[in-house]
Amino acid sequence: MDENCNRRLIPCCMNLEGGIRNRGLRMTIPRQLVAGVLDTADGYLSADEIYTRIREDYPGIGLATVYRTLVLLDEMGIVNRYNFGDGCARFIIAEEQTSEHSHQLVCEKCFKVVKYSDFVKDELDLFRRVESVLSEKHGFEINRHIVQFYGICPDCKEEK
C-alpha cells in the first residue's frame, strides 16, 4: 500500500507523522489520511465525519478502516476520544505532551474547540494558585495542565 502513497496529495501533518513513527508504527495511507483530517479540523469529529471527508478524495477507503485507525491512534495516545453523551464517540488530536499548559473551550453542540492562549492575568494567577494548593495537598509536583471548559459557543447560542 505504501508504494501508492502520493504524499503531495495528502495533507501534511509532521507532528502526527512523528508521533506515529515514534511509537514504532508504520505510516500507512489510512493513518495518514485520518491524521490529516484531524490535523486540519477545528474541533471534535466523529468517525463518520472523518470518513466522509476522506472519501471525497479517497473513495476506496472504508468506514471500518477509519474506525480501526482511530481506535489504534487513541490507544497510542495520538488522538483523544470524548463522548458527549449522544452515544457517538468523537476524536481530536491529543495535546502535545511538551506544552506547559493548554486551555480549551469546547462547544457541546457543534464540537468546535477554541484553544486560547491570550490569558488574562487573573486567570494565570488563579491557575498558579490552584497548582500550588494541589501540589501541597497531594505532595504532587505538577508540571503541566490541560483545562477544558464545556458549553455553547457564540454561533450555536445565536441559533437557539
* Least spacing, CB of residue 142 vs Zn ion, in Å: 11
Kindly tell me which of 79 and 107 has the beta carbon lying closer to Zn ion: 107
What whole-number distance in Å separates Cα of residue 92 and Cα of residue 79? 6
Q: What are the grid coordinates assigned to 66, written together? A: 477509519
* Least spacing, CB of residue 103 vs Zn ion, in Å: 5
Q: Which amino acid is at 10?
A: I
* Least spacing, CB of residue 101 vs Zn ion, in Å: 3
What whole-number distance in Å separates Cα of residue 44 and Cα of residue 89? 9
Kindly tell me which of 28 and 102 has the beta carbon lying closer to Zn ion: 102
Q: Which residues bind Zn ion (CB under 5 A)?
A: 101, 107, 109-110, 127, 153, 156
Kindly tell me which of 42 and 48 has the beta carbon lying closer to Zn ion: 42
What whole-number distance in Å separates Cα of residue 123 and Cα of residue 37? 32
Q: Which of the 8 DSSP states describes residue 60?
A: T
